[in-house]
Amino acid sequence: MTVTKSTSTIPSRSIPLPSPLQTSARGTPFERSVWALTCQIPPGSFSTYAILAARLKSSPRAVGNALRRNPFAPAVPCHRVVATGGTLGGFKGKIARRDGEGITLQEKRTLLRKEGVKFDAVSGKVLGTPFTAFV
């Protein structure tokens, strides 16, 4: 008996998988679904861990853990996912220091700014409405 293993749990109605996910079997089915959903966030936009979690019927923590294990950045743009309150959350498996910043979060902020995402000058939070138009 031959068993065919599916490499994706993404419904056929979704957008095509980005090239790194087409050519690699890395990641669990859940991680791959998080990464594929993240690829739908357009440059200059952002979404939140909670929005992705609701779409995947999961938890924000599970989404964050999947993004922490993303081996395809920046092709799979995990930097476009922030915490619900507009703070950056984590990046590259790191969270902010007590002063609220860290080298990886500076990198995340820089990537978002290069794409046109705006930040509040006082609080440092992301400004705008999170992307929710997932396929």
pLDDT tens digits, residue range 13-61?
Answer: 455 667 777 888 889 999 999 999 999 999 999 999 999 999 999 999 9
What pLDDT, in 10s, does the model give residues 121-135?
999 999 999 999 998
* Partners of 94 in beta bridges: 91
Catalytic residues: 78
Q: Output the CA–CA distances (angstroms, integers) from residue 5 to 8, 26, 35, 37, 132, in the order listed.
A: 9, 13, 19, 21, 30
pTM of the model: 0.80
How many Å apart are CA 120 and CA 8, to the nearest integer?
A: 38
Let me know: does 127 contact 88? Beta carbons within 8 Å: no
- Sorted by sequence, the CB contacts under 8 Å of residue 19 that are 6+ apart come out as 75
DSSP string of 41-91, one letter each residue: SPTT--EEHHHHHHHHTS-HHHHHHHHHT-TTTTTS-GGGEE-TTS----B
Give 2's pLDDT tier (boundaries 50, 70, 90): very low
Tokens encoding 121: 């000058």
